[in-house]
């Protein structure tokens, strides 16, 4: 087992990473001081796909940790169900089970479950603790860490939510064995992101034969390295800027373009990582057109995504006008001015800025979409 810490003072928490953690030491980890912190009850939030496979293991781990009451609520599976209406099922289950502030919510699933469980925990009785147990690569390397929670609205992704940090993240890499290949691949763009914005060594490792291909082959060493390196990068950024007032915004490389794709196509049509993949290529292309990076870095990025099998362009039929309309409601818009995460300088360098020639954004959108 490897442990990464998110240093947030008295709200610091561990990210435990290892194979078979839920079976071998799940109870021990959950019983550790600062995780359950004396909580006597738990509500597992999962979905209809993950629950039948893994919830019994988590129930056993919680009970072996001394939790006296464990209830489970299963949500529908899919980004299209990341809504307030479906979130209410969590609160209703908590009320029906008579759960109080002595309860820990446990997010068992991918990014959708983690975001919804965390948001539910942030609001239930004005805030109860929760633990992340991610089962998708996307959740393992990104969404389970950092305390961003929320739900989608028809006009924009993740527009309603809260910052609410977990008390622990338990990554059992064995859970990735049952993940469909498409969902496994969709986690790779977030790993590529860390390489592009701050970790050149990780990017170069992905380019080796044991990088992208190792992840897709579910090689245990490759998965462990990718998850640990990603969590270390994410933890360092969150510790420096918990509420996205500065450097944390760099973690949104490709996301402004990507969120527009998800919203336009309908939540769930494109996986989040697939939209981020295309969005990252668009951000890299724009950075190159601005003269901020070399064409070679764009080409290297495209090749990585092609090897992963994730998109390198937005969906056919999506127009530049649609992008502009949807990007106008992005959370990084300030005083009516769009700010983007763009690459600048050598591999590992980026900026969050609204100080770019808007004509280059138009050129980039028209290059990918036509006028």
Round to whole Å and give the CA distance between 248 and 341: 11
Q: Are 57 and 23 in contact (CB under 8 A)?
A: yes
What local confidence, expressed as pLDDT, does residue 371 receive? 60
Round to whole Å and give the CA distance between 109 and 45: 8
Sequential DSSP letters for 59-124: HHHHHHTT-SEEEEEEEPSSGGG-SHHHHHHHHHHHHHTT--TTEEEEEEESHHHHHHHHHHHHHG
CA distance to 22, 27, 67, 113, per residue, from 61 (Å): 7, 4, 9, 19
What local confidence, expressed as pLDDT, does residue 25 receive? 81
Q: Residue 337: pLDDT band by 50, 70, 90 thresholds?
A: confident
- Does 53 have pLDDT greater than 90? yes
Q: Residue 34: pLDDT band by 50, 70, 90 thresholds?
A: low
- Does 22 have pLDDT greater than 90? no
Round to whole Å and give the CA distance between 180 and 355: 41
- Does 74 have pLDDT greater than 70? yes
- Does 356 have pLDDT greater than 90? yes
Q: How many CB atoms lie within 10 A of CB 245?
A: 8
Mean pLDDT of 259-280: 96
Please name each of the domains of the chain with its CATH number. Answer: 2-177 (3.40.50.1970), 182-369 (1.20.1090.10)
For the annotated catalytic residues, the residue numbers are 126, 148, 190, 234, 244, 248, 252, 255, 259, 272
Mean pLDDT of 59-75: 93
Token couple for 25: 């030491």
Q: Are 169 and 132 in contact (CB under 8 A)?
A: yes
How much is the mean pLDDT over the chain?
94
Model confidence, pTM = 0.95
Round to whole Å and give the CA distance between 216 and 210: 10
What local confidence, expressed as pLDDT, does residue 301 receive? 98
Tens of pLDDT, residues 277-318: 999 999 999 999 999 999 999 999 999 999 999 999 999 999
Strand partners, 134: 109
């Amino acid at each position: 087992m490897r442990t990464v810490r998110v240093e947030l003072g008295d709200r610091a928490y561990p990210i435990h990473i290892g194979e078979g953690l839920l079976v071998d030491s799940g109870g021990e980890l959950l019983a550790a001081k600062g995780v359950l912190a004396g909580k006597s009850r738990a509500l597992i939030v999962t979905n209809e796909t993950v629950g039948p496979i893994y919830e019994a293991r988590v129930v056993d781990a919680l009970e072996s940790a001394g939790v006296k009451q464990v209830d489970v609520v299963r949500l529908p599976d899919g980004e299209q169900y990341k809504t307030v209406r479906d979130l209410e099922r969590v609160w209703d289950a908590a009320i029906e089970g008579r759960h109080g502030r002595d309860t820990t919510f446990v997010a068992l699933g991918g990014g959708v479950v983690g975001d919804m469980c965390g948001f539910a925990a942030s609001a239930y009785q004005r805030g109860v603790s929760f633990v992340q147990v991610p089962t998708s690569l996307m959740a393992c390397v990104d969404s389970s860490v950092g305390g961003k929670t929320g739900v989608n609205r028809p006009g924009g992704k993740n527009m309603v939510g809260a910052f609410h940090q977990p008390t622990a993240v338990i990554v059992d890499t064995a859970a990735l064995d049952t993940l469909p290949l498409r969902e496994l691949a969709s986690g790779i763009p977030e790993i590529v992101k860390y390489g592009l914005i701050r970790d050149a060594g990780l990017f170069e490792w992905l380019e080796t034969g044991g990088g992208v291909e190792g992840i897709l082959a579910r090689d245990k060493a490759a998965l462990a390295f990718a998850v640990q390196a990603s969590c270390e990068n994410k933890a360092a950024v969150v510790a420096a800027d918990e509420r996205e007032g500065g450097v944390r915004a760099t973690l949104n490389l490709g996301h402004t373009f990507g969120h527009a794709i998800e919203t336009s196509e309908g939540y769930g049509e494109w996986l989040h990582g697939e939209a981020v993949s295309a969005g990252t290529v668009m951000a890299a292309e724009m950075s190159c057109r601005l003269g901020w990076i070399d064409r070679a870095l764009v080409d290297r990025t495209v090749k990585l995504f092609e090897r992963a099998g994730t998109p390198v362009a937005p969906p056919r039929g999506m127009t530049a006008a649609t992008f502009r309309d949807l990007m106008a409601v992005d959370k990084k818009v300030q005083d009516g001015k769009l700010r983007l995460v763009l690459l600048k300088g050598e591999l590992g360098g980026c900026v969050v800025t609204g100080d770019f020639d808007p004509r280059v954004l138009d050129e980039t959108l028209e290059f990918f979409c036509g006028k």
